[in-house]
Amino acid sequence: MRILNAVVEFVKQLAQAWDEDKPARLAAGLAYYSLFSLAPLLFISISVAGIFIDEAQITEQLLTRIGALLGVESAEFFESAISSLEASTVTGRTLTTIISFLALLFAASGLFTNLKYALNSIWQISPSEYAGVKAFIRTRLLAFLIVIVFGLLLVVVAFAGIILSAINSLIMLEGISSALNFSVIFALAIITFAVFYRILPDTHVGWRDVWGGAIFAVSILSIGLWIVGIFLGSVNLTSATEAAGAVAVVLIAIYYASQIFLVGAEFTKVYAYKYGTRVGEDHYHAEDESNPEQRQLDNKKAVSDL
């Protein structure tokens, strides 16, 4: 009974935090910026992974997974975008190629700078605390590093696929191979989310605070993507929205994933203050004192309630 009461109380606080921080609006902004950053991110990641593994093999695996999750049209949309970016960077001139590559790297990093902004908003950190040239450079360098790491993650996934294929050829059990493949991707997703929750906000977040939120978010995301896959298999969304069908599917999927990611961030914050490294701190009053903008909004809301 005590455990049930604790779970109910935690869910109530999570719902309260969700209502106060309005992450749905942050997710809409993330979805918009991600639409422009995702293709450069995939291209840069594939280029980095291509140092270790054949780019064609990486691209095929990636597009196959996108097609399985979001439909064939979405995979074709990304394939066309990646091909266009590849053609724009291969010009025969070294300087032009380098400039194009750096421009794409800057565009790809925009996704993570906006993730950082969204997480700072959830932790109620005033923009003045991470403003300035040094903070901008530090944020961009961190985003560049994350883009490179994404390419290395593709290498890990590719190697895992090769190993699991070899295991499957030995034991001849397709179900076990699929389960192992899902487990590897699931574990990598949890680690990735946990790292983002830990390093992106401009405040200290303990490692023991982030794992629950990461597992919670990735679990919901996996279930949601499975449902979306079933839905896309039964509804021809592309024909319903004509030429914008693939973009619509991608945008909806990104918006859904962004909301789930931010739910995990809210989970992390609530856990940190209730059970983790910030037990005993009153984050509502403490943050309001350091955030004049939030305090003004609270004051206006109090006046309107009167």
Query: Does the residue 115 lie in any domain?
Result: yes
Distances (CA, A) of 305 to 13, 128, 291, 300: 22, 29, 21, 9
pTM: 0.80
> Which residues constitute the domain of residue 153?
9-279
Say if residues 123 and 204 touch (Cβ distance below 8 Å).
no
Q: Which residue has the tokens 């896959």?
A: 229
Query: Does the residue 295 lie in any domain?
Result: no
Query: Does the residue 37 lie in any domain?
Result: yes
Query: Does the residue 85 lie in any domain?
Result: yes
> What integer pLDDT is reported at residue 236 of this predicted model?
58
Whole-number average pLDDT of the chain? 78
Domain count, the chain: 1
Task: Kindly provide the b/e burial profile for residues 142-170, where b requires at least 16 CB atoms within 10 angstroms of the residue's own CB.
Answer: bbbebbeebbebbbebbebbeebeeebee
Query: Does the residue 286 lie in any domain?
Result: no
Q: What is the pLDDT of residues 160-190, one digit of tens each?
A: 777 767 776 666 655 666 777 778 888 989 9
**Where does 201-268 show beta strands of DSSP type E?**
none
Distances (CA, A) of 150 to 225, 297, 298, 303: 20, 38, 39, 47
Query: Does the residue 291 lie in any domain?
Result: no
Distances (CA, A) of 10 to 13, 159, 162, 226, 269: 5, 39, 42, 27, 11
Please give the Cα distance from 154 to 59 (Å, whole number).
Answer: 10
> What integer pLDDT is reported at residue 290 of this predicted model?
44
Q: Which residue has the tokens 């680690």?
A: 191
Tokens of 100: 């194009």
Q: Output DSSP code: residue 129.
A: G
Query: Does the residue 70 lie in any domain?
Result: yes
Report residues of the chain scoring pLDDT below 70.
Answer: 89-97, 127-131, 164, 168-177, 229, 231-246, 282-306
Query: Does the residue 228 lie in any domain?
Result: yes
Q: What is the pLDDT of residues 279-298, one digit of tens each?
A: 877 664 444 444 444 444 44
